[in-house]
Structure 1
Amino acid sequence: MSTVLPILKLRQCLITSLHRHLEDEEVSRFESELLEQVDRHEATFVIVDVCALEILDTYMTRILGGLGKSCWMMGARLVLCGLQPEVAITMVEMRQSIAGVIPANDLEHAMEIVEAHGQDSKLGGLLAGI
């Protein structure tokens, strides 16, 4: 059985893209596959790019928050990048949040966060308590 979404490994970082709507069963498989890769590769960061999603419903918001917490429990940090402005505005209006996730503007910004952590382990406030 093939993976739900491609997961790329770059050094100690995993990178994936939510570029389409996932059905409930696919979401569960995606979570399992991603966390299995975190464990297998001892990843310290997981970047999830959502720039192709025009809608991020409450279910997916909860899933991403849970994924962020699961990654944290496994010693990795989840960086969410590419959130569309309209989606961010709607999330704020609906009082949705994705606790435990580091936000980044785009994939380049996400990689800068990862690289900064590698160069300066005192990234501190951004990563502490997530």
Structure 2
Amino acid sequence: MNIVEKCMVVSTGENPDANALECLSKEILTQVRTVGAKGVLLNVSGLSFVDSCSFLLLRNMAKAVSMLGARFVLVGFQPGVASTAVDLGLDLEGLNTVRTMEDGLEMIRGLSGAGLLVEEQPETKDEDVPALIEESSDARGAASGESGV
């Protein structure tokens, strides 16, 4: 993880499984709180496929980051992954996606995409962070019965 302009830049790596995404989510949530990040850019360009469980974990990660008062942007979906997500009928509403890191930084800074940015959230207390991490972890169990690609 790197920090650029109070924004965390993180990569999923190549085709992480649900356990790896769950661990990544926990690390991101902890670091957002620790470093006071204003946003998270998650580079998903290493994903060559998506299943419903992994996608749900990404959505829950976005929600949890938002609850900590930071903005969350997915960067670099491959065309096939985007197409598959739509074909599977996965709920894309509320997800901020861009093609490049530069576009992501602009979105987080609020320079583009009016209406696409997550609203400011009330301050989260330190004791709330474990509950947010637990909610994110629960996504794996909730999605385990869903089929994917």
Q: How many residues align?
A: 120
Question: What amino acid does structure 1 have at the position aligned with 2:36?
Answer: E
Q: Report the secondary structure of 1:54's partner residue.
A: coil
**How far has the Cα of 1:105 moved from its partner?**
1.1
Tell me the equivalent position of 1:125. 115
Question: What amino acid does structure 2 have at the position aligned with 1:33?
Answer: E
Change (3 A) 1:99 1:67: farther
Name stretches of at least 5 consecutive residues in structure 1 with no aligned partner: 1-6
Structure 1 position 18 matched with structure 2 position 12: yes
Higher relative contact order (CA 8 A, sep 6+): 2
Name stretches of at least 5 consecutive residues in structure 2 with no aligned partner: 121-149
Change (3 A) 1:25 1:51: closer
Of the three residues 102, 118, 121, the one matched with 2:96 is 102
Greater CA drift, 88-97 or 60-69? 88-97
Contact residue 19 and residue 53 of structure 1 kept, 8 A = yes
TM-score by length of 2: 0.71
Moved over 2 A (4+): 21-28, 97-101
Query: What are the Cα deviations for residues 6-57 of structure 1, in whole angstroms up to 9, with x where unaligned?
Result: x111121000111223233322221111100000011111000111211121
> What is the 5 A alignment of 1:62-77?
62-77=56-71
Tell me the equivalent position of 2:73. 79
Contact residue 61 and residue 97 of structure 1 kept, 8 A = no
RMSD over aligned CA atoms reads 2.1
Contact residue 6 and residue 39 of structure 2 kept, 8 A = yes
Tell me the equivalent position of 2:34. 40
Q: Report the secondary structure of 2:3's partner residue.
A: strand
Identity %: 27
Tell me the equivalent position of 1:3. none
CA distance in 2 between partners of 1:23 and 1:88 (Å):
18
Q: Report the secondary structure of 2:107's partner residue.
A: helix
Contact residue 62 and residue 98 of structure 1 kept, 8 A = no
Tell me the equivalent position of 1:4. none
TM-score by length of 1: 0.81
> What is the 5 A alignment of 1:49-60?
49-60=43-54
